[in-house]
Protein backbone atom coordinates (compact mmCIF):
# COMPACT_ATOMS: atom_id res chain seq x y z
CA UNK A 1 0.00 0.00 0.00
CA UNK A 2 1.33 3.36 -0.95
CA UNK A 3 1.94 5.48 2.10
CA UNK A 4 2.24 2.53 4.44
CA UNK A 5 6.01 2.63 4.57
CA UNK A 6 6.18 6.33 5.31
CA UNK A 7 3.62 5.91 8.12
CA UNK A 8 5.63 3.23 9.84
CA UNK A 9 9.23 3.94 8.90
CA UNK A 10 11.13 6.86 10.36
CA UNK A 11 12.43 9.36 7.85
CA UNK A 12 16.23 9.18 7.83
CA UNK A 13 17.93 12.14 9.45
CA UNK A 14 21.54 13.09 8.72
CA UNK A 15 22.45 12.21 12.33
CA UNK A 16 20.78 8.83 11.94
CA UNK A 17 22.33 7.81 8.65
CA UNK A 18 25.77 9.11 9.68
CA UNK A 19 25.60 6.98 12.85
CA UNK A 20 24.60 3.94 10.77
CA UNK A 21 27.36 4.68 8.26
CA UNK A 22 29.95 4.92 11.05
CA UNK A 23 28.70 1.66 12.59
CA UNK A 24 28.83 -0.20 9.25
CA UNK A 25 32.20 1.31 8.34
CA UNK A 26 33.75 0.33 11.68
CA UNK A 27 32.21 -3.15 11.58
CA UNK A 28 32.59 -4.17 7.94
CA UNK A 29 35.10 -1.89 6.25
CA UNK A 30 37.68 -0.94 8.87
CA UNK A 31 40.38 1.69 8.68
CA UNK A 32 43.94 1.51 7.51
CA UNK A 33 46.87 3.86 7.50
CA UNK A 34 47.46 3.97 3.72
CA UNK A 35 43.87 5.00 2.99
CA UNK A 36 43.80 7.48 5.89
CA UNK A 37 47.08 8.95 4.62
CA UNK A 38 45.64 9.24 1.08
CA UNK A 39 42.65 11.19 2.40
CA UNK A 40 44.85 13.45 4.57
CA UNK A 41 47.17 14.23 1.64
CA UNK A 42 44.20 14.95 -0.61
CA UNK A 43 42.80 17.40 1.98
CA UNK A 44 46.11 19.16 2.61
CA UNK A 45 46.69 19.53 -1.14
CA UNK A 46 43.34 21.32 -1.34
CA UNK A 47 41.54 18.71 -3.46
CA UNK A 48 37.76 18.68 -2.93
CA UNK A 49 36.55 16.17 -0.28
CA UNK A 50 34.50 14.21 -2.79
CA UNK A 51 36.15 10.80 -2.74
CA UNK A 52 33.68 7.93 -2.34
CA UNK A 53 32.66 6.99 1.21
CA UNK A 54 34.41 3.93 2.70
CA UNK A 55 31.29 1.71 2.53
CA UNK A 56 30.87 2.61 -1.14
CA UNK A 57 34.56 2.09 -1.87
CA UNK A 58 34.19 -1.37 -0.34
CA UNK A 59 31.25 -2.03 -2.69
CA UNK A 60 33.47 -1.18 -5.67
CA UNK A 61 36.17 -3.45 -4.26
CA UNK A 62 33.71 -6.33 -3.83
CA UNK A 63 32.28 -5.84 -7.33
CA UNK A 64 35.79 -6.28 -8.76
CA UNK A 65 36.15 -9.54 -6.85
CA UNK A 66 32.62 -10.77 -7.61
CA UNK A 67 33.15 -10.09 -11.33
CA UNK A 68 36.63 -11.61 -11.27
CA UNK A 69 37.83 -8.43 -12.98
CA UNK A 70 41.48 -8.27 -14.00
CA UNK A 71 41.45 -5.11 -16.11
CA UNK A 72 39.79 -2.04 -14.59
CA UNK A 73 39.24 1.38 -16.12
CA UNK A 74 38.57 4.30 -13.79
CA UNK A 75 37.52 7.69 -15.20
CA UNK A 76 38.32 10.36 -12.59
CA UNK A 77 41.20 9.53 -10.22
CA UNK A 78 40.98 12.55 -7.90
CA UNK A 79 43.44 11.70 -5.07
CA UNK A 80 43.48 7.95 -5.71
CA UNK A 81 41.27 6.81 -2.81
CA UNK A 82 38.90 4.68 -4.91
CA UNK A 83 41.83 3.65 -7.12
CA UNK A 84 43.57 2.05 -4.12
CA UNK A 85 40.39 0.16 -3.19
CA UNK A 86 39.97 -1.07 -6.79
CA UNK A 87 43.64 -2.07 -7.12
CA UNK A 88 43.58 -4.00 -3.85
CA UNK A 89 40.79 -6.19 -5.23
CA UNK A 90 42.81 -7.35 -8.24
CA UNK A 91 44.39 -10.76 -8.56
CA UNK A 92 48.13 -10.97 -9.33
CA UNK A 93 48.78 -9.54 -12.77
CA UNK A 94 45.65 -7.36 -12.70
CA UNK A 95 45.76 -3.70 -13.64
CA UNK A 96 43.88 -0.42 -13.11
CA UNK A 97 44.10 2.28 -15.75
CA UNK A 98 42.85 5.54 -14.28
CA UNK A 99 42.30 8.84 -16.12
CA UNK A 100 42.75 12.20 -14.42
CA UNK A 101 42.45 15.59 -16.12
CA UNK A 102 44.09 17.65 -13.38
CA UNK A 103 47.90 17.23 -13.14
CA UNK A 104 47.94 18.24 -9.45
CA UNK A 105 45.39 15.55 -8.60
CA UNK A 106 47.35 12.97 -10.58
CA UNK A 107 50.53 13.81 -8.62
CA UNK A 108 48.76 13.46 -5.25
CA UNK A 109 47.18 10.19 -6.40
CA UNK A 110 50.50 8.77 -7.64
CA UNK A 111 52.12 9.27 -4.24
CA UNK A 112 49.19 7.78 -2.33
CA UNK A 113 48.85 4.80 -4.66
CA UNK A 114 52.58 4.06 -4.42
CA UNK A 115 52.53 4.45 -0.62
CA UNK A 116 49.65 1.97 -0.44
CA UNK A 117 51.86 -0.61 -2.17
CA UNK A 118 49.77 -1.00 -5.34
CA UNK A 119 51.77 1.33 -7.59
CA UNK A 120 52.92 -1.53 -9.81
CA UNK A 121 49.35 -2.31 -10.81
CA UNK A 122 48.05 1.23 -11.40
CA UNK A 123 48.67 3.31 -14.49
CA UNK A 124 47.56 6.95 -14.24
CA UNK A 125 46.81 8.52 -17.62
CA UNK A 126 46.90 12.27 -17.09
CA UNK A 127 44.80 14.20 -19.56
CA UNK A 128 41.20 14.92 -20.36
CA UNK A 129 39.35 11.61 -20.45
CA UNK A 130 37.77 12.59 -23.78
CA UNK A 131 41.31 12.63 -25.22
CA UNK A 132 42.70 9.66 -23.30
CA UNK A 133 39.84 7.20 -23.86
CA UNK A 134 40.30 6.91 -27.66
CA UNK A 135 43.95 5.88 -27.04
CA UNK A 136 43.08 2.96 -24.73
CA UNK A 137 42.73 -0.64 -25.73
CA UNK A 138 40.08 -2.86 -24.16
CA UNK A 139 38.53 -5.01 -23.16
CA UNK A 140 38.13 -3.82 -19.61
CA UNK A 141 36.22 -6.03 -17.18
CA UNK A 142 34.99 -3.21 -14.93
CA UNK A 143 34.66 0.54 -15.54
CA UNK A 144 34.12 3.11 -12.77
CA UNK A 145 32.89 6.52 -13.98
CA UNK A 146 33.44 9.32 -11.45
CA UNK A 147 34.58 12.44 -13.29
CA UNK A 148 32.90 15.54 -14.75
CA UNK A 149 29.19 14.70 -14.76
CA UNK A 150 28.61 16.65 -17.99
CA UNK A 151 30.40 13.85 -19.86
CA UNK A 152 28.72 10.82 -18.26
CA UNK A 153 27.00 9.82 -21.53
CA UNK A 154 30.26 10.14 -23.45
CA UNK A 155 32.06 8.04 -20.83
CA UNK A 156 29.32 5.39 -20.91
CA UNK A 157 29.65 5.16 -24.67
CA UNK A 158 33.41 4.62 -24.25
CA UNK A 159 32.82 2.10 -21.47
CA UNK A 160 30.71 0.05 -23.89
CA UNK A 161 33.27 0.37 -26.69
CA UNK A 162 36.16 -0.56 -24.40
CA UNK A 163 34.17 -3.30 -22.68
CA UNK A 164 32.82 -6.68 -23.72
CA UNK A 165 29.56 -8.47 -22.97
CA UNK A 166 29.61 -8.87 -19.18
CA UNK A 167 31.70 -5.80 -18.41
CA UNK A 168 30.48 -4.16 -15.19
CA UNK A 169 29.98 -0.39 -15.24
CA UNK A 170 29.49 1.72 -12.11
CA UNK A 171 28.61 5.42 -12.29
CA UNK A 172 29.02 7.55 -9.15
CA UNK A 173 26.78 10.43 -8.07
CA UNK A 174 23.59 9.66 -9.98
CA UNK A 175 21.17 10.97 -7.34
CA UNK A 176 22.79 14.20 -6.18
CA UNK A 177 20.60 14.76 -3.13
CA UNK A 178 17.47 14.16 -5.23
CA UNK A 179 18.25 16.82 -7.80
CA UNK A 180 17.89 14.34 -10.67
CA UNK A 181 14.08 14.39 -10.19
CA UNK A 182 13.75 18.07 -9.32
CA UNK A 183 12.46 19.84 -12.44
CA UNK A 184 13.80 23.14 -11.15
CA UNK A 185 17.31 21.68 -10.86
CA UNK A 186 19.10 22.74 -13.98
CA UNK A 187 22.78 23.06 -14.64
CA UNK A 188 25.27 21.15 -16.68
CA UNK A 189 26.12 18.59 -13.99
CA UNK A 190 22.62 17.38 -13.14
CA UNK A 191 21.67 17.46 -16.81
CA UNK A 192 24.75 15.37 -17.59
CA UNK A 193 23.75 12.85 -14.94
CA UNK A 194 20.23 12.61 -16.41
CA UNK A 195 21.60 12.14 -19.95
CA UNK A 196 23.81 9.34 -18.69
CA UNK A 197 20.90 7.56 -16.99
CA UNK A 198 18.72 8.04 -20.09
CA UNK A 199 21.45 6.49 -22.23
CA UNK A 200 21.65 3.51 -19.85
CA UNK A 201 17.88 3.09 -20.27
CA UNK A 202 17.68 3.55 -24.05
CA UNK A 203 20.84 1.97 -25.36
CA UNK A 204 20.61 -1.81 -25.86
CA UNK A 205 24.32 -2.15 -25.09
CA UNK A 206 23.48 -1.67 -21.38
CA UNK A 207 21.27 -3.32 -18.79
CA UNK A 208 21.22 -1.16 -15.67
CA UNK A 209 19.77 -0.22 -12.34
CA UNK A 210 20.60 2.47 -9.80
CA UNK A 211 20.65 2.53 -6.01
CA UNK A 212 20.31 5.51 -3.73
CA UNK A 213 22.95 5.75 -1.03
CA UNK A 214 22.99 7.48 2.36
CA UNK A 215 26.52 7.44 3.60
CA UNK A 216 29.27 9.70 4.90
CA UNK A 217 28.89 11.77 1.72
CA UNK A 218 25.16 12.34 2.17
CA UNK A 219 22.32 11.39 -0.22
CA UNK A 220 23.56 10.19 -3.58
CA UNK A 221 23.68 6.97 -5.56
CA UNK A 222 25.36 4.54 -7.91
CA UNK A 223 24.17 3.33 -11.29
CA UNK A 224 25.30 -0.22 -11.94
CA UNK A 225 25.17 -1.70 -15.43
CA UNK A 226 26.35 -4.68 -17.40
CA UNK A 227 27.39 -4.51 -21.06
CA UNK A 228 25.11 -6.75 -23.12
CA UNK A 229 25.90 -8.54 -26.37
CA UNK A 230 23.75 -6.09 -28.38
CA UNK A 231 25.58 -4.69 -31.37
CA UNK A 232 23.18 -1.83 -31.99
CA UNK A 233 23.77 1.60 -30.48
CA UNK A 234 21.13 4.10 -29.34
CA UNK A 235 21.37 7.42 -31.09
CA UNK A 236 21.07 9.93 -28.27
CA UNK A 237 18.64 12.84 -28.71
CA UNK A 238 21.12 15.23 -27.20
CA UNK A 239 24.86 15.38 -27.84
CA UNK A 240 26.86 12.90 -25.79
CA UNK A 241 28.32 15.76 -23.80
- Positions that interact with Mg ion (CB under 5 A): 146, 172-173
Query: CB within 8 A of 172, min separation 6: which ones?
Result: 52, 56, 76, 144, 145, 146, 220, 222
CA atoms of 151 and 158, how far apart (whole Å): 11
What's the DSSP call for residue 119?
G
According to the binding rule CB under 6 A, does residue 210 interact with ligand DHB? no
Size of the site for ligand DHB (CB under 6 A): 4
CB of 48 to ligand DHB, least distance (A): 7
What's the DSSP call for residue 150?
G
Cα-Cα-Cα-Cα torsion 235, 236, 240, 241, nearest 10 degrees, comes to 160
Q: Is 102 left (phi over 0), alpha (psi -120 to 50) or beta?
A: beta
CB of 78 to Mg ion, least distance (A): 8
CA atoms of 5 and 162, how far apart (whole Å): 42
Nearer residue to ligand DHB within complex by CB, 82 or 112 = 82
Q: Are 12 and 18 in contact (CB under 8 A)?
A: no
CB of 173 to Mg ion, least distance (A): 4
Question: Could you say which residues in the range 164-203 bind ligand DHB, by CB under 6 A?
Answer: 172-173
Per-residue binding letters, 35-54, with ligand DHB (x by CB under 6 A): ---------------x----
Nearer residue to Mg ion within complex by CB, 188 or 233 = 188
Nearer residue to ligand DHB within complex by CB, 160 or 175 = 175
Nearer residue to ligand DHB within complex by CB, 112 or 213 = 213
Nearer residue to ligand DHB within complex by CB, 25 or 173 = 173
Provide the 3-class DSSP secondary structure of residue 110.
helix
According to the binding rule CB under 6 A, does residue 146 interact with ligand DHB? yes
Provide the 3-class DSSP secondary structure of residue 125.
strand
CB of 23 to ligand DHB, least distance (A): 22
Contact positions vs ligand DHB (CB under 6 A):
50, 146, 172-173
Amino acid sequence: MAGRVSETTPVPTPEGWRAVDAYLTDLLVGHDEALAHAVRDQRSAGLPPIEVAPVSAKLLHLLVRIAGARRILEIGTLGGYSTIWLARALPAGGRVTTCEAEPRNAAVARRSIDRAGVGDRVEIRQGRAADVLPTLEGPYDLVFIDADKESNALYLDWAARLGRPGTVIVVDNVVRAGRIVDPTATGSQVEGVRRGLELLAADPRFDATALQTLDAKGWDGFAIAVVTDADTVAVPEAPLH
